[in-house]
Amino acid sequence: MLDIKFIRENKDLIKHAAKIKHVDFDVDKLLEVDEKRRALQLSYDEKRSFQNKEGTRMTVPGLAEEEKLLILKGLSIIKEEMKLIESDLKTVMLDWQKLMVSVPNIPDVSVPEGESDADNKEVKNWVPTPEKKFDFEPKDHIALMELHDMADFEKGASVAGFRGYFLKNDGARLEMALLQFALDHFSGKGFIPMIVPSLVRRETLLGTGYLPQGEEDLYKTQDGEYLAGTGEVAGMSYFADQVLEKKDLPKKILAFSPCFRREAGAHGKDVKGLYRVHEFLKLEQIVLCEASHEESVKFHEEITANAENMLQKLGIPYHVVINCGGDLGLGQVKKYDIECWRPSMKNYGETHSSSYFHDFQTRRLNIRYKDDSQNGESGLKFVHSLNNTAAAMPRLLIPLVENYQQADGSIVIPEILRPYMGGKEKIG
């Protein structure tokens, strides 16, 4: 959420952001409602002030009974007027709040224009040395994992429904090995591991910007809670309504949780295998830093490099793209996607997303810090927030098994994962 004062002073910038992000948002409507809200609030405050003054007059010693009755009559009228204003203000505030949570954040000037992920621009391409090449027709991950009894998609569908799956034997071991490796890798980068809830309240999703726009992709319980699609939701909300010390920034959290997505709008996309599933495990990098664009940019590059470094250790070819305006979320200022090479499809598939938000999320969640350069309330600032996938399972298994397959169908286990696989070097 943006500051209403900023919106009032920069309405053309908001219109530009909506255009770049292809978001249908009417900033003029918001400002019209905001004017009503301010006028009603001013009228209410003036009447409240008058009410307080008249109430004070009632306590003056020696006040004539006749004058007391006049004051009481006036207070009665004011009270009824305030009730009417309060009712109108409540209605206007609901409209105002709905519009405020729909204001798009301002994208960085480096964000390219475009309508969808097809318009994202490659900024980096990495391949192992020596480059992995196949002198045979590579199998897809489904065939490989079924060949070695690493997964059962048929049973997954019968038990869990569409996009369901079972991982077993070396499929299960490989997923756990990747997660343990990622935990060690990111802990070495200064991230504090945290297992966070998947079942969350609506306020946490509003705070992180996943509601109201993303409701159709969320699972909701009969009790009103939601199943989160990323550990970012609970990990960020852990700091809600807190005032942090500047000396304690940045906060770096590695949030682990089961994740759930309905994949609404993904009908017909990646219907088989492990790429687009409803239930998965994920480690997420979360950073809270000082309210500085330069700091946000610095940590954005850092968390992206952390994920790249992990893929390089695994020897998985990938490229990095900068997301165009139409492929940015409502709150994102800038976003990179890291996409890994899928030999069977001869294309890249996204495995990591890296974003920064400035104070869009922290303003909603009320996460602030004391700026040492100022004193008192005026020294409180909203921190900036960033996040990036550390490891999403089982999606990361796809480029791993496909890039390490051999002509005989066996799968070489990357050397760095072997200690987590009991020293095993090959599957099959």
Which residues are known catalytic residues?
A: 261, 276, 350, 353, 395
Q: Residues with Cβ < 8 Å from 216, sequence gap 6 or more?
A: 262, 264, 265
Query: Which residues pair with residue 382 across a beta bridge?
Result: 368
**CA distances in angstroms from 397 to 146, 165, 179, 195, 417, listed in the order given:** 13, 13, 11, 22, 12
Phi, psi at residue 407, to the nearest 5°?
Answer: -60, -30
**Which residues, listed in sequence order, are joined to residue 193 by a DSSP beta bridge?**
254
CA 95/CA 362 separation, integer angstroms: 22
Q: The dihedral of CA 121, 124, 125, 126: what is its sign?
A: negative
405 burial level (CB within 10 Å; 0-12, 13-18, 19+)? buried
Q: What are phi and psi of 255, to 5 degrees?
A: -95, 125
Q: How far apart are CA 341 and CA 356, in angstroms?
A: 25
Count other Cβ atoms within 10 Å, centred on residue 127.
14
204 exposure class (CB count in 10 Å sphere: 0-12, 13-18, 19+): buried
Of residues 150, 142, 156, the one with CA closest to residue 275: 142
Question: Which neighbouring-strand residues pair with 286?
Answer: 253, 387
Contact 252, 285 (CB under 8 A): yes
Structure tokens at 73: 């009559």
Q: Look at residue 167 and give its three-state secondary structure.
A: strand
Surface-to-core class of residue 213, CB atoms within 10 Å of its CB (0-12 exposed, 13-18 middle, 19+ buried): middle
Cβ neighbour number for residue 290 with a 10 Å cutoff: 16
DSSP structural state of residue 150: -
CA distance to 63, 75, 157, per residue, from 69 (Å): 10, 10, 77
